[in-house]
Amino acid sequence: MFSKILSIVVIMFFSLISFGQKESMALIEGGTYIPLYGSDSMPVNVVDFKIDKYPVTNAEFKEFLEENPKWRKSNVIALFADGNYMRHFKNDTELKEGELQNAPMTNVSWFAAKKYCECQGKRLPTLDEWEYVGMASEKRADARTKDEYNKFILSWYEKPNSYNQEIGSTFKNYWGVYDMHGLVWEWTQDFNSVLISGESRKDVDGSNDLFCGGAAVGSSDLMNYAAFMRYAFRGSIKANYSVRNLGFRCAKSINKPNQ
Amino acid sequence: MNAKDIKAVSEMKAELTAPPFVPKSTADREATKLKVDMEILEETGEMADGVEYVYWTFGGSVPGSFIRTKVGDEVEFTLKNHPDNKLPHNIDLHAVNGPGGGAASSFVAPGHEITFSFKTLNPGLYVYHCATAPVGMHIANGMYGLILVEPEEGLAPVDREYYVMQGDFYTKGEFGEQGEQPFDMQKAIDEDADYVVFNGSVGALTGDGALQAKVGETIRLFVGNGGPNLVSSFHAIGEIFDRVHVEGGDLINENVQTTLIPAGGAAIVEFEVDVPGELVLVDHSIFRAFNKGALAMINVTGEEDKDVFAGTIQEGIYLPEGGTIQSMPSDDEDDAKEETAAVELSKAEKMELGKKVYGSTCFACHQADGQGIENAFPPLANADYLNDDVNRAIDIVLRGKSGEITVNGKTYNSVMTAQNLTDKEVAAVMTYIYNSWDNNGTEVTEEMVRKVRKK
């Protein structure tokens, strides 16, 4: 009897915590999906997790810098952030003229993004998690076969200077997550786990599992093109790179009751 | 000597030029270590009057900067991807002997630069382009240009050299549709081009951008075709190519009317200009020239030579058209286009719209400043025939005209097709014409057009 009461209290306690996170994170129900790399088209399993509804903003990152001075522009170790790090800041604390507080934080290295998430008790999403959430349109969990969805993504990819917009300015997807497409690229934990050689045409041959021939050579399927461009982008960057159009958001695993 | 054994003795920074210009000849220098510094920019430009397009460029122009090297050069190539760019890029130079033409070694993220090197072994004119996935899209957005590898002694000196490169473009809206037009991947896959242009946009090489030459000069054109899809039937209306370096290589063909330039290929064409006037460069897949923009001009000035050309222009046999859909002259009144009642435009608005309509419909024949082409297309500038009778002029636009007419004392016997324009467009374009080039300043109203249409 006593233990039953305790467990109810514990449940209430947990639900309070999760209520706090409800504000900023969306719950993603796991499932399997077939990613667009790999010649064997192996389905990938994604377990339930949470992801930030919005990319991390300039203002949020500034708060992080106040508490973590060693990640400021003037202090950061070159190994962890290249010369473009925080390029849109005048100094350690102030944005340049015309930059929006509430726009996604960019010019940020993978190391800095990872540290930011850790300080929030979170982590970067895995590539598979990100792609899984990224498949969703406003209405569907997987909209990759929809023409309009793919056209939206492709037209964004070729539009310059979309980074300086407020978060939430693009669509809210099936999971309640904003700005997966249309604002900035986003870091993932294992962004370079799919290696591409830099010569994307070569990646179509049989000796290489990447950018399988079915997708790159024979396909006229728009959805592959949108994904190719993400993989090509990821293939071009290194963890210390800071890029004007590259931001991030954090994710969190869901603790199993017995952990 | 084998090109591989040529030693580069010195070092220099490569001169890069935006089209239509080319760097100076390499004939006077030894093989060298040539430092090429190229920046990739993604930026909005104008595809046609009032049509915006986001170009991806090598060096800020389409085609990209011209690179001039010679056999034996050791090229040290630095590719910079501007920090504001959204995408990674690379470069595949067809002049390179090596995997991917340098593509694998030059893959570079936004905000970064990369340096690689190669030795030029084979003389010729070569295309370079971006080869990042999806390759077709990068090329379709303008990522191509030319690199010349001159033979040891250099190319023979000529009076003028120019850089012209064809490309096909695929936009969400049809040809001429105003505003920002995004790339259309499906049309690109279907090879259904909305624009086929020289040097990146409609009219890049006409009007103020026309190439210049003088009678008696020898002209060399470095002509490339970026594609991504279409093969060019490159032709100069009113000129025969004296020499063509076929496909940009060693083979020289002489006395060529039209030379085929494959997508991802090039040719060097040379000709002496014999008479004054305007030479028109076209892709002789001719609807591309008159309806999709593949048209450029060479303005030749100097003394006439009646022995070479007595004044009967054969090119009049075309029925050159503008971008508007046209029909042959007709007395049929059923053609009248349904018109929705709308507010008459102000004169300023008419001038603005009229200029655009002129650019897409009239300009191919009547020319940028209304001067026409002598003996073929009558002038509109300061033209008595036009100024004498506005209703007759409206009628010709609506129903076309064939047979002999006299304009400013000269006789023309040609065909103008009926133009498929709305009353609003006719009023605008005619107001524009009447208020340009010393004409009498008549303002044409939609009502006037309607009356003539109902006649």
Residues B254 and B342 in one domain: no
Residue A19 in any domain: the answer is: no
Residue A90 domain-assigned (yes or no): yes
Domain membership of residue A67 (yes or no) is yes
Verify whether the Cβ–Cβ distance B86 to A162 is below 8 Å: yes
Asked if residues A243 and A40 have their Cβ atoms less than 8 Å apart, the reply is no
Does B366 belong to an annotated binding site?
no
Angle of helix A127-134 versus helix A222-236 axis, rounded to 10: 150
The DSSP result for A80-101, as a single string, is GS-TTTTTTBSSSS-BPTT--T
Q: Distance between CA A98 and CA A83 in Å, rounded?
A: 21
Contacts of B182 in chain A (CB under 8 A): 155, 158-159
What is the model's pLDDT at position B368? 84
- Judge: A200–B131 Cβ closer than 8 Å, yes or no: yes
CB contact under 8 A, A155 and B87: no
Q: Is B10 helix (H, G, I), strand (E, B) or coil?
A: strand
If one counts the domains in chain B, the total is 3
Are the Cβ atoms of B189 and A200 closer than 8 angstroms?
no
Domain that holds residue A87: 26-253
Tens-digit pLDDT profile for residues B387-432: 999 999 999 998 888 888 999 988 888 778 778 788 888 999 999 9
B170 in the same domain as B107: no
Q: Which of B132, B138, B141 to mutate to test the interface with A (most CBs of A within 10 A)?
A: B132
pLDDT at A213: 32
pTM reported for the whole predicted model: 0.73
Low-confidence ranges of chain A (pLDDT < 70): 1-22, 36-41, 194-224, 256-259
State residue B445's pLDDT score. 92
B342-B347-B353-B355 Cα dihedral, nearest 10 degrees: 150
SS3 content of chain A, % helix, strand, coil (to 5): 35, 10, 55
Please give the pLDDT value at position A199.
56
Q: How far is CA B455 from CA A9, A152, B394, B395, B422, in A?
A: 90, 49, 11, 9, 16
B121-176 tens-digit pLDDT? 999 999 999 988 788 999 999 999 999 999 999 999 999 999 999 999 999 999 98
Helix axes A110-119, A58-67, angle to 10 degrees: 80
Confidence band of B318 (pLDDT split at 50, 70, 90):
very low
Which pLDDT belongs to residue B27? 93
User: CB atoms < 10 A from the CB of A39, how many?
Assistant: 15
User: Would you say B143 is a known binding-site residue?
Assistant: yes
- Residue found under tokens 């033409």: B101
The residues of B assigned a catalytic role are 89, 92, 94, 129-130, 138, 143, 235, 254, 258, 284
DSSP code at position A103: S
- Given B102, B136, B156, the domain boundary residue is B156
With residue B137 as reference, give the H or E element that holds it.
Answer: helix B135-140
Range of the domain at B176: 161-317
CATH number, domain at A112?
Answer: 3.90.1580.10
Nearest to A244 among B88, B103, B110 (CB): B110
3-state secondary structure of B435: coil
Mean pLDDT (chain B) is 89
CATH classification at residue B31: 2.60.40.420
Q: Please indicate, yes or no, if residue B322 is contained in any of the structural domains.
A: no
Same domain, B232 and B313: yes
Domain count, chain A: 1
Full DSSP string of B218-249: EEEEEEEEEESSPPEEEEEET--EEEEEGGGS
Contact B2, B122 (CB under 8 A): no
**CA angle (B420, B421, B423) in 5-degree steps:** 135
Return the residue matching tokens 């591309």. B288
Q: Which residues of B touch A (CB under 8 A)?
A: 42-44, 54, 56, 83-88, 90, 99-100, 103-112, 131-135, 137, 141, 182-183, 185-186, 189
Residue B114 is encoded by which pair of tokens?
A: 């990369």
Task: Provide CB contacts within 8 A for A118, sequence distance 6+.
Answer: none
Q: How far apart are CA B11 and CA B74, in angstroms?
A: 9
Give the range among A188-192, B10-14, B321-325 with minimum mean pLDDT. B321-325
Residues of A in contact with B103 (CB under 8 A): 198-201
Chain A, chain B: beta-carbon pairs less than 8 Å apart: 112
Complex ipTM > 0.90: no
CB-side exposure of A173: number of CA atoms within 13 Å?
27
Say if residue B209 is in the same domain as residue B145: no
3-state helix, strand, coil in chain B (%, to 5): 20, 35, 45
Nearest-Cα distance to chain A for B150, in Å, is 28
User: Could you tell me which residues come within 8 angstroms of residue B48 by beta carbon, excluding any fewer than 6 positions away?
Assistant: B175, B176, B195, B201, B202, B203, B293, B359, B360
- Residues of chain B positioned with their CB less than 8 A from the CB of A220: 189
On whether both B410 and B301 belong to a single domain, the answer is no
Considering only the beta carbons, identify the residue of B54, B104, B109 that sits closest to A158: B54
**Least confident stretch, A12-26, A51-65, B74-88, B94-108:** A12-26
pLDDT for the residue B329: 60
What is the Cα gyration radius of chain A? Answer: 20
Confirm whether A21 is domain-assigned: no
Please report which helix (H) or strand (E) contains residue B136, including its range: helix B135-140
Instruction: Pick A109 or B333 by higher pLDDT.
Output: A109
Rounded CA separation B326/B218 (Å): 38
Residues B139 and B190 in one domain: no
* CB–CB contact A158 B109 (8 Å): no
**Residues in chain A closer than 8 A to B56 (CB atoms):** 158
- Reading the block at residue B14, the tokens are 């490569």
A23 CA: distance to closest CA in chain B (Å)? 30
- B333: pLDDT strictly greater than 80: no
Contact call for residues A53 and A177 (beta carbons, < 8 A): yes
Q: Would the pLDDT of B311 be above 70?
A: no
Burial class (CB in 10 A: 0-12, 13-18, 19+), B25: middle
Domain ends where: B270, B298, B317? B317
A247: CB partners within 8 A, 6+ apart: A55, A56, A104, A105, A106, A108, A163, A183, A184, A185, A186, A187
Answer whether residue B338 is part of any domain: yes
Q: What is the mean pLDDT of residues B104-114?
A: 88
Looking at the partner chain, which of A84, A158, A220 has a beta carbon nearest the beta carbon of B182?
A158
Query: How many C-beta atoms lie closer than 10 Å to residue B74's C-beta?
Result: 18
Q: What percent of chain B has pLDDT over 70?
A: 93
Whole-angstrom Cα distance, residue A34 to residue B178?
A: 40
**Predicted pLDDT at B73:** 95
Nearest to A158 by CA among B375, B433, B188: B188
Please tell me the predicted confidence (pLDDT) of residue A5: 52
**B166 and B74 in one domain?**
no
Cβ contacts (< 8 Å) between B131 and chain A: which residues?
199-201
Q: Do B99 and A199 make contact, defined as CB atoms within 8 angstroms?
A: yes
pLDDT tier at B332, thresholds 50, 70, 90: very low
Rounded to an integer, what distance in angstroms lies between the CA atom of residue B244 and that of residue B110? 40
Q: Which CATH number characterizes residue B395's domain?
A: 1.10.760.10
Tokens of B96: 């390179």
Instruction: Kindly state whether residue A226 falls inside one of the protein's structural domains.
Output: yes
Regarding whether B49 and B185 lie in a shared domain, the answer is: no
Residue B288 has a pLDDT of 93
Q: What is the pLDDT of residue B443?
A: 93
B165 and B236 part of one domain: yes
- Let me know if residue B195 belongs to a domain: yes
Mean pLDDT in residue range B42-61: 93
pLDDT of residue A212: 33
Q: Do A237 and B104 touch (CB under 8 A)?
A: no
Query: Do B110 and A245 lie within an 8 Å CB cutoff?
Result: yes
B152 and B9 in one domain?
yes
Binding residue per annotation — B82?
no
For residue B80, the chain A residues in CB contact (below 8 A) are none
State the average pLDDT over residues B174-196.
92
Six-digit token string for B287: 């609807």
Do B127 and B145 fall into the same domain?
A: yes
Domain boundary among B297, B317, B337: B317
**CB-CB under 8 Å, A225 with B185:** yes
> B305 near B275, Cβ under 8 Å?
yes
3-class secondary structure, B6: coil
Is residue A4, in this structure, part of any structural domain at all? Answer: no
User: Residue B320: pLDDT above 80?
Assistant: no
- Ligand-binding site membership of B365 (annotated): no
Reduce the DSSP state of residue A138 to 3 states and report it: coil
Determine if the peptide bond prior to A69 is cis (ω within 30°). Answer: no
At B210, the amino acid letter reads A
| B369 and B427 inside one domain | yes
User: Quick check: B47 and B127 in contact, CB under 8 A?
Assistant: no
Residues 6+ apart with CB under 8 A from B2: none
Q: Using an 8 Å Cβ cutoff, are B351 and B392 in contact?
A: no
